[in-house]
Amino acid sequence: MTEPQWLEAWPVEEGARRVDELFTSSFDGSPEGVWSAPGRVNLIGEHTDYNAGLCLPTALPHRTFIALRPREDDRVRLVSAQAEGVWEANLSDIAPGASGWGAYVAGVAWALAEAGHKVGGFDAAVDSCVPFGAGLSSSAALEAAVAVALDAVAGLGLAASDAGRTELVDATRRAENEIAGAPTGGLDQSASLRCREGYALLLDFRPGLSALESGVPVPFDLDTAGLTLLVVDTKAEHSHVDGEYGARRAACEQAAKLLGLDSLREIAPALGGMGIDRALAELEPHDAEGVLRRRVRHVVSEIDRTARFANLVREGRAADVGPFMLASHVSLRDDYEVSCRELDLVVDTAMATGALGARMTGGGFGGSAIALVNRADVDTVAQAVADAFADAGLTAPAFLLAPPSAPAA
């Protein structure tokens, strides 16, 4: 028996106290305020965001905290409980390719300025209980915390409405894509800034939608249903700046181009598209190995599963979504090829121990898996997963509980 390691979320007051103390011990005086933003889990809808598709995330109770004070000049000075020393730069020097963790922070200020907002320099202290590199969007949590902090100190007022928050999403996503250089699709930033406590958020990434259409909150009442969402951080290495994520994205763009479409979303017959069978037939002559067709089959089927999953949740039938989670995992494993041994082991073990559904969550290649379990079975499932990892000689995973939590504030 290997004791499962649980990773508790800090109460908001504790996170605030930590960054306040870190700020005052690193810089003279006090911060102007403290803000925070959550990591996320994606219930379903994986690798669909950059295909103009659907995703269904919830916010984690685990948050990244920032204490911040504006400066008179354009200098940015940052300290983090998770990093040595002070990260410093002038905002005017921030440009694509900036390096270090500060690029995620200064990048948000850069993107807000690019969007025409007046944002100056600042001192800030950061601390987080969102596990790093675990596929739970620690970088988006940092970006979103910076976005709401700068929104407040610069008096932009964007965080006050969902429509304004979509502008903050754009800024945080540009910071990640253009400054930090990770070609991600916007799911993580949208989740951190737009999810609501007690709800999942049905995101639709078709271009040109209003805020009302692009993010629809769906009540996700796990408690009443007697269910718990268990997250397992496999501790298997995971990174987006490496080539695999970009390669998947490029394959999707190539397939869309061969089909004469702007995005793979447009294959859907419901949007007047050609349907999956014709799309696969048209790709065949260009696709000797079948790779493009597998990628397309995943994306198109995943968008469909996400819509169906959201409908069940809307009807109060969260206990019935399990088969969609499993089908999503199988598709990500076999067609999209982004799973790994550790993720498969969580899913197989959870399903064998009574989970209603389980799947990898996030980009894959390591990171985390989720399992939907009856509340009474949480400890049994966690124990079985911890034992399976020990038996396989793998690093011990960490376990988190994920009630749908509040957005950046």
Which residues form the interface with ligand GLA (CB under 6 A)?
42, 46-47, 49-50, 184-188, 240, 362-363
Contact 399, 249 (CB under 8 A): no
Question: Which is nearest to 209 in space by CA: 58, 52, 314?
Answer: 52
Measured between alpha carbons, how far is 191 from 170 in angstroms, rounded to an integer? 12
CA dihedral for 345, 350, 352, 356, sign (positive or negative): negative
Q: Which two tokens stand for residue 220?
A: 């996700």
Q: Which two tokens stand for residue 81?
A: 């409980």
Pick between residue 19 and residue 52 the one whose CB is nearest to ligand GLA: 52
The owner of tokens 């067609």 is: 335
Cα separation values, 55 from 241, 282, 391, Å: 21, 27, 34
Q: Which helix (H) or strand (E) holds 88?
A: strand 87-90
Measured between alpha carbons, how far is 340 from 342 in angstroms, rounded to an integer? 6
How many other C-beta atoms lie within 10 A of the C-beta of residue 386?
21
- State in angstroms the smallest separation of the CB of 227 from ligand GLA: 23
How many residues belong to the chain?
Answer: 409
CA dihedral for 38, 39, 45, 49, sign (positive or negative): positive
Pick between residue 246 and residue 273 the one whose CB is nearest to ligand GLA: 246
Catalytic-labelled residue, pool 49, 123, 127, 188: 188
- State in angstroms the smallest separation of the CB of 170 from ligand GLA: 14
Q: Which two tokens stand for residue 298?
A: 């995943």
Measured between alpha carbons, how far is 14 from 20 in angstroms, rounded to an integer? 10
Helices and strands, counts by H and E, the chain: 12, 13
Q: Which two tokens stand for residue 363?
A: 């980009």
Q: Could you tell me whether strands 398-401 and 199-204 are parallel, antiparallel, or unpaired per DSSP bridges?
A: unpaired
Angle between helices 138-153 and 187-194 (to 10 degrees): 50
- State in angstroms the smallest separation of the CB of 60 from ligand GLA: 13
- State in angstroms the smallest separation of the CB of 248 from ligand GLA: 9
- State in angstroms the smallest separation of the CB of 241 from ligand GLA: 11
Pick between residue 240 and residue 294 the one whose CB is nearest to ligand GLA: 240
Measured between alpha carbons, how far is 76 from 121 in angstroms, rounded to an integer? 5
DSSP letters, 153-210, are: HTT--GGGSHHHHHHHHHHHHHIIIIIS-----SHHHHHHHH--TTEEEEEE--TT--
- State in angstroms the smallest separation of the CB of 183 from ligand GLA: 9
- State in angstroms the smallest separation of the CB of 365 from ligand GLA: 10
Pick between residue 63 and residue 240 the one whose CB is nearest to ligand GLA: 240
Pick between residue 76 and residue 268 the one whose CB is nearest to ligand GLA: 268
Pick between residue 252 and residue 350 the one whose CB is nearest to ligand GLA: 252
Would you call 170 a catalytic residue per the annotation? no
Pick between residue 49 and residue 167 the one whose CB is nearest to ligand GLA: 49
Contact 176, 182 (CB under 8 A): yes
Measured between alpha carbons, how far is 386 from 396 in angstroms, rounded to an integer? 7
Pick between residue 42 and residue 331 the one whose CB is nearest to ligand GLA: 42
Residues acting as catalytic residues: 188
